[in-house]
Structures are given as structure tokens and as C-alpha cells.
Structure 1
């Protein structure tokens, strides 16, 4: 799709809004709480997780940490990957109602814990992008193991419940999407791409994949849809589209935008029956 077509498409289809404030400091990841219609956004720059309630009011949910990247709501707890920079990284979990720390796990020798995902058996998965490892964490006893150490710079994670597999995209010049079978730990190729630096990955209710890709120079980003073995560029900007999550309640792709210090809600078209 050429630049004009992409711009035209976004103008009419991306019924979205950005929420800007000085309290955003390089937002990297976003997750949604359907029970309260609230968003939780991680800040790389300030070591903070922000909450935006259904009225649009923004408050500090958690602060005082080093640098948060991936963030995910699961069973009443907001989990996030803390990139400690000066030492081992942590997985932190905070009660969604109180903000109290209820889970903390340090994984030694990590370089940059990044995205977080859950399966349907209370297992957490986290990518160490710079360490080239994906860890599987048992929430019940705070134990962990290596799920995969063969993928170069694993970044975005998505659990495909129907096929019991973890989808992984990586961050190289020509990025790749992989699938890891949860039971066998076998890693297979889903698709090779010509897009650099894939970051976020998610799936909508129809089973279509959406990914974000950064340009080689990291100045621009693209929101991609993967359907029928083909990629379509459905949004392009210089705002730094990073991690993404499909919001089933609003039928939108929620995106944290690093450079613009904002979040973007990209509404998807309803398919005609």
C-alpha cells in the first residue's frame, strides 16, 4: 500500500484518540481491564505504571521502580517486566485494586526482559530480547525455566489459545514470526517478513494477526495486519508505535506510542456478514 492510500485509510478508519500528559514518559506497553474500563500503561523512562479510568482521568498506579516494559493484566493482578539496567531484571505483579506488590521474581543474568503473556494454565511467559531467551514462569510457586533460546532477539508475545502455542516476533532487519508449541516446546516458523524490528503482536476475534514494525533507523513505525499469508500496512506514523493489545470489548488495537508520549486506539472495521 502506498503512502497516500495508507493515509487515506487511517483518516477514515482509525477512529481513535491519543491521551497526552507530562506523566507519560516513553510509554511502552498497554493492557485493558474490562471490569472497570481502565487502561494500564508502562513507562520506560520513569519506572511507573499509569492508570487511565473510563472518564479519561490519569493517575499513577505504581511508581518508584527502575524501568517498566511489557505489562499485562491477569486474574486481578497487573504484571510487568522491570528492566533493572544495573542488575538482574524482575517480574513484578501488583494487585489491580490496591496497587500493592503481590508478586516479585528476579531472573538472574537477564539483559532486557520485555514482553509478557499468559497461557490458560497460570503460566507467564516473558521475552529477554537482548538475552535471546523466552522464559516460562509458574505464578503459583515463582519458579521459571527456559522455554526457548533459539530465537534471535525475541520481542512480542501472544498466546494462541486455540492452537496452544506461543506466537513470537523478533527484532531484526528482516523480522520473523515463530510459534512455540507449549507442550513440546518445539519452535516452528510462521512467516518470514521483509519488515524490520517487529515489536508488538496480537490477534483479533477473527484470528487475524496484528504487529508493529519499526523502520531500520527506528524513526517511523507501521501497524501491520497479517491475513491470508499477506501483510497489509494499515497505519503509519512517526509516533513510535510499540507494544499492542487487542481490546475485544471495543474491537480495537490499543497501542503505546513511545515518541509521542501517548496511546492510540485503532478501531477495527466490523466485517459484513
Structure 2
């Protein structure tokens, strides 16, 4: 991948105007994939390049509100999605789930999932404070991972497998797991939908006919989903809002993004997204 440095002012305000992209990091990273906000800090996973290779060049960064970056943990292979539970930052890393204590950056958790056959464990999202969902993009599956002293995992079996299952987020109120797919065979035929966990015979239900290279996913307070779509492997990425009732989709960013991967939302509702192909983390406010 080419590295492109954006000349965008650093964030100074608490919120941004609609579509106004602001770069948060002072120095570029190699391939930032996921962002998680904890207090006033941002934790950023960097795959180092190849998302499936065990090469030891993966990094977890910690970035403060001024955009200063430090290494939180190094020596990973290709960390992707991030989530904090009980002061531990969990991340899928090729075929393992790893956890790092926030206080010292020390690895305190490992779950080997190589037996699944996946080398592209990707996103992670909690069902509760001891159970998480993890997507396996290369085998089109989602797993339920039980954390703790004796961790284990099981497949979340459902009809209509999600092509390139990527972003996952759980809606406890509706007991739905929302999933989006990156597509299969290099084609932007990924879908957006959900699995109703209350049903005995579980199915993936599409929310919209719109397809794409879908990556990150988040629930909003407006009863909608936000989903990132790379569109192409160049600066054309978008974030779309999906109405959960009608399936209508609306693009919420004005400027295209180079590889919008696993984004998160700030308390103000701003989108904090990696621009993975240019090594930056950006912030903008979706229109409501």
C-alpha cells in the first residue's frame, strides 16, 4: 500500500461540523484498523500490513487527546477489532484472541482459535461483561467467545452465511447481533443485516439490498446503524447510515476516506475512523 500523508488540522474542538474531516494523530501509522475510546485516550490497533501473516509487526497504540501516539503493546501479528472489558483490551490477532491489561500493556489473556481454520479473526463486540462475539472474515463465520480463566468458544450457527463476515455489534434491547460483510472473492458483495438470537432456527436477515466492502459497524442513539464501506481500494470510502425500520441508507460523510475500517463513536456522536490506507485516524460528525 502507498502511504499518503493528509495535511489536515488537528482536532481541537469537542465536536466537528457535518462532513468536516479532522486528523487526530500527529504522526502517521502503518495500517490502523480499529479505534476504541477509553476515557480521554484512544487505543488503535495497527495490523502492520498483511492481515493474516504472523510476522510480529502488529502494534497497539495509545493516543491522547492532543494526537500524541505511544506504543501500548508491540510484538503482535495483525491485531484488528478492539474492545475493553474489566480493564482489559481484547483484540483478535490472526487466529488468536489476545487481552492486554490497560494499566501496564501486559498481555494477560490468550485464546487460541486456530482449530476454526480462520487466519482472519476480525471484529469483536460484547454480548455481556464476560462474553463477546468475534467475526472470522475468511471463513464467513461468527463465534461466541466466553472469557475468563477457562475461556472457550463456539460457533454462532445461522442460515445464509455473511460473505466476508466483518463488523459485529450486539443490540441487547432487541437481542440482535448486527453483522456486515466485506464480501467474497474480492467483490464488493458484502451485506448488512442481523441475527435474531431469540430464535431457535437462526437466520441472517438483510436490512438493505445495498452491497459493498463493509467493515466497521455501530449502533446510534437515533435507532439506526452506521456502517463503513471501503467502496474501492483507494480514497473512495464512505460511512452509511441504515434505518433499522425501512432499510434506507444515507451517506453521512462528505469527504471520501481511504479505507474506513473499524470505527467507533464518541460521546458526542462523532465518527472516529481509521483511514487505513493512509495511516491516519479521522474524526467527523454525521448529519442528523
- The bucket for the TM-score relative to the shorter chain is 0.7 to 0.9
Please report the TM-score for the alignment, with normalisation by the length of structure 2. 0.80
Q: Partners of 1:81 and 1:218 in 2: how far apart? A: 25
Provide closer, same or farther for how the CA distance between residues 252 and 219 of structure 1 changes in structure 2, counting only shifts above 3 A. Answer: closer
User: What SS does the aligned partner of 2:173 have?
Assistant: helix
The answer to whether the 8 A contact 1:40-1:50 is kept is yes
Q: Which residue is equivalent to 2:92?
A: 81
Q: Which residue is equivalent to 1:13?
A: 18
Please tell me the root mean square deviation across aligned C-alpha atoms, in Å: 2.1
Q: Partners of 1:135 and 1:144 in 2: how far apart? A: 7
Q: Partners of 1:58 and 1:216 in 2: how far apart? A: 28
The answer to whether the 8 A contact 1:20-1:261 is kept is no
Show the 5 A alignment for 1:68-107: 68-83=79-94, 89-107=95-113
Residue by residue over 1:93-134, the C-alpha shift from the partner in whole angstroms, topping out at 9 and shown as x without a partner, is 111111111111010222210111101252111111001111
Cα deviation for residue 145 of structure 1 reads 0.4
Residue by residue over 1:52-72, the C-alpha shift from the partner in whole angstroms, topping out at 9 and shown as x without a partner, is 123332110010111111111
| 1:239 partnered with 2:247 | no
| 1:220 partnered with 2:236 | yes
Q: Partners of 1:52 and 1:78 in 2: how far apart? A: 14
* Greater share of strand: 1
**Residue segments in structure 1 that go unaligned for 5+ positions in a row:** 1-10, 84-88
Q: Partners of 1:159 and 1:218 in 2: how far apart? A: 30
Provide closer, same or farther for how the CA distance between residues 69 and 135 of structure 1 changes in structure 2, counting only shifts above 3 A. Answer: same
Provide closer, same or farther for how the CA distance between residues 206 and 223 of structure 1 changes in structure 2, counting only shifts above 3 A. Answer: same
Q: Partners of 2:259 and 2:278 in 1: how far apart? A: 7
The answer to whether the 8 A contact 1:21-1:261 is kept is no
The answer to whether the 8 A contact 1:175-1:193 is kept is no
Please report the TM-score for the alignment, with normalisation by the length of structure 1. 0.85
The answer to whether the 8 A contact 1:175-1:192 is kept is no
2:175 to 160, 164, 174: 164
Q: Which residue is equivalent to 1:5?
A: none
The answer to whether the 8 A contact 2:118-2:139 is kept is yes
| 1:147 partnered with 2:156 | yes
Q: Partners of 2:129 and 2:17 in 1: how far apart? A: 40
Cα deviation for residue 262 of structure 1 reads 0.8
Q: Partners of 2:98 and 2:82 in 1: how far apart? A: 9
The answer to whether the 8 A contact 1:174-1:193 is kept is no
The total of aligned residue pairs comes to 252
